[in-house]
C-alpha cells in the first residue's frame, strides 16, 4: 500500500517559521508519510504555479499551517506582490471547497508549537470560517482554541468558538459521540462563567458522565 500523500501549505513568515515547517515535514516523512513541501524542491521543471496546483489537487490531505500571515494572504488583505505562493495555494483550496459544495474532507488546519498557538487561537478559528472547514478536525481545533481563551479568562471571545465547535460535532459526529458530549460540557461551563446558568443547565442535562474536553495540543517540532 502506498503511503498517504500530504501537501503542506504555509506562508514564508520568517526563517524560524520555515524551519518549523521543515521539521514537521521531516517528522511526517520519518513516520512513513509522503509529505510534500516546497523546501524539498529547487525549482520544479513545470514552474511553481503548476507545481502548487498539482500538489493541492492530488494530495490526499493538505495541512494548512495557520499563522496571521497566512490568514492575511488567504483573506486578500496582503500588500500587492507579497506572499504570492500562499495566496495562490489558499485560492486553490477555497476553489476546491467551493466545487465540493463546502464539504471539507481534505484540508486540515495546523498550529505549530505553543509560541504559535498563543497569539493565533482566534486566527485559527477564523481560518476554519474562511475555508468553510466542517470536519471533526476543525471542530477539535475550535474546541482547543476555545480552551486556550477560557484559560486566559477571555470568555466572550471563546463563546462563538465553542458554539461553532458544537454545531460541527453534532453534524459530523452525531449528538451521542463522546467528542460532542465533551464539547457540550465545555460550552456549558463557559455559559455558567458568562452568567447564562439556565442555558448551561439545559446543555449539561444532555450529557452525563462524559469527562470535560482537555486542551491537549500535540507536541509538534519547535
CB atoms within 10 A of CB 170: 16
Number of domains the chain is built from: 2
Does the pLDDT value for residue 213 go beyond 50? Answer: no
> What is the domain-level CATH number for residue 41?
3.40.50.11530
Q: CB-based contacts of 152: which residues, under 8 Å, 6+ apart?
A: none
94 and 154 in a common domain: no
Does the pLDDT value for residue 132 go beyond 80? Answer: no
Does the pLDDT value for residue 145 go beyond 70? Answer: yes
Q: Do the strands 61-65 and 34-36 form a parallel or antiparallel pair, or are they unpaired?
A: unpaired
Does the pLDDT value for residue 15 go beyond 60? Answer: yes
Q: Which of 130, 154, 175 is the last residue of a domain?
A: 130
- pLDDT tier at 216, thresholds 50, 70, 90: very low
- pLDDT tier at 146, thresholds 50, 70, 90: confident
Element (H, E) at 99: helix 84-99
> What is the domain-level CATH number for residue 197?
1.25.40.10
pLDDT value of residue 16: 92
pLDDT value of residue 96: 93
Q: Positive or negative CA dihedral for 19, 20, 22, 26? A: positive
Residue 216: domain span = 135-222
pLDDT value of residue 119: 46
Amino acid at each position: 500500500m502506498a503511503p498517504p500523500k500530504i501537501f503542506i501549505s504555509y506562508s514564508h513568515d520568517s526563517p524560524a517559521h520555515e524551519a518549523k515547517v521543515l521539521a514537521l515535514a521531516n517528522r511526517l516523512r520519518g513516520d512513513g508519510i509522503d509529505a510534500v513541501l516546497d523546501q524539498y524542491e529547487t525549482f520544479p521543471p513545470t514552474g511553481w504555479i503548476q507545481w502548487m496546483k498539482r500538489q493541492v489537487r492530488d494530495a490526499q490531505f493538505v495541512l494548512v499551517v495557520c499563522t496571521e500571515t497566512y490568514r492575511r494572504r488567504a483573506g486578500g488583505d496582503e500588500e500587492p506582490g507579497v506572499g504570492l505562493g500562499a495566496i495562490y495555494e489558499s485560492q486553490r483550496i477555497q476553489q476546491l471547497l467551493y466545487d465540493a459544495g463546502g464539504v471539507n474532507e481534505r484540508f486540515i488546519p495546523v498550529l505549530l508549537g505553543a509560541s504559535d498557538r498563543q497569539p493565533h487561537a482566534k486566527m485559527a478559528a477564523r481560518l476554519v470560517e474562511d475555508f468553510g472547514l466542517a470536519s471533526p478536525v476543525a471542530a477539535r481545533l475550535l474546541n482547543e482554541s476555545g480552551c486556550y481563551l477560557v484559560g486566559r479568562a477571555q470568555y466572550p471571545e471563546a463563546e462563538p468558538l465553542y458554539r461553532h465547535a458544537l454545531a460541527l460535532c453534532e453534524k459530523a459526529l452525531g449528538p451521542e459521540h463522546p467528542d460532542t458530549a465533551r464539547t457540550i460540557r465545555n460550552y456549558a461551563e463557559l455559559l455558567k462563567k458568562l452568567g447564562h446558568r439556565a442555558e448551561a443547565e439545559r446543555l449539561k442535562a444532555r450529557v452525563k458522565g462524559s469527562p470535560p474536553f482537555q486542551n491537549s495540543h500535540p507536541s509538534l517540532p519547535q
